[in-house]
Amino acid sequence: MAAPARQLEPQPLATSLFPMFVKLHGKAVLVVGAGSIGEPKIGSLLDTGAHIRVIALEATERVREWSRVGQLALEERRFVPADLDGIFLAVIAPSQRDLNEVAYTEAQKRNVLCNVVDVPEQCDFYYPALVKRGDLQIAISTSGQSPALARRLREQLEQQFAPSYADWLAELGATRRDVLKSNLTREQKRELLMSLAARPAFEEMLAANTGHNKEGDAG
């Protein structure tokens, strides 16, 4: 009797990344590795309000200082899979390939979002190239295809969006709250807020601030 025809395994469909900004306040975050690779990853988490736990055989002096002032919990020892228990998000940043694979596999078992630095196939999320101006954040991702291109685009955007955008955005936020509390109609509110967020409004704010600075210098 002839053997039944072998069924071909369905091939996974190509997927696109879903862009979002995640609130980590109060969440348990694990970083494995605290050397030159891990330090900037840890630094990017400090202002998120996350409960940061760092496991590393050795740590840079800056990471130790963050630990001393209570910004994170540092344990200078070898990683074990149980370190992932109860963790929401994990970043694996050592240079040991075997450890990377174990950590990623254990994270998958626990449904922990995981990023193994510089190993795209072992990442549930990527660090974008980021332009930050106060509360304004512009994130750029190439899905791990070309970090160099992401950096170049970030540099271009840093020139396009001056640091003064931070102050302007703060003003826009305060104005928006006042407009929303006003007696204007919904359409009037929308049109006003759109006009305030337009480029000419930014240029007027910039010119006004420059004028004030010059007057202050003259005095």
**Is 0.85 topped by the overall pTM?**
no
Structure tokens belonging to residue 33: 């590795």
Taking the C-alpha atoms of residue 108 and residue 121, their distance in angstroms, rounded to an integer, is 13
Structure tokens belonging to residue 157: 């955007």
Q: What is the pLDDT of residues 150-199, one digit of tens each?
A: 999 999 999 999 899 999 999 999 999 999 999 999 999 999 999 988 87
Taking the C-alpha atoms of residue 34 and residue 74, their distance in angstroms, rounded to an integer, is 9
**Residues 45, 48, 51, CA angle at the centre, nearest 5°?**
75
Pairing label, strands 136-140, 51-59: unpaired
**Mean pLDDT on 24-31:** 98
Confidence of residue 209 (pLDDT cuts 50, 70, 90): low
The radius of gyration of the chain's CA atoms, rounded to the nearest angstrom, is 24
Indicate the burial class of 129 (C-beta count within 10 angstroms; 0-12, 13-18, 19 or more): buried
C-alpha 95 chain-centroid distance = 22
DSSP state of 183: S
Taking the C-alpha atoms of residue 22 and residue 24, their distance in angstroms, rounded to an integer, is 6
9 or 176, which is more confident: 176
CB atoms within 10 A of CB 183: 6
Helix (H) or strand (E) run with residue 52 in it: strand 51-59
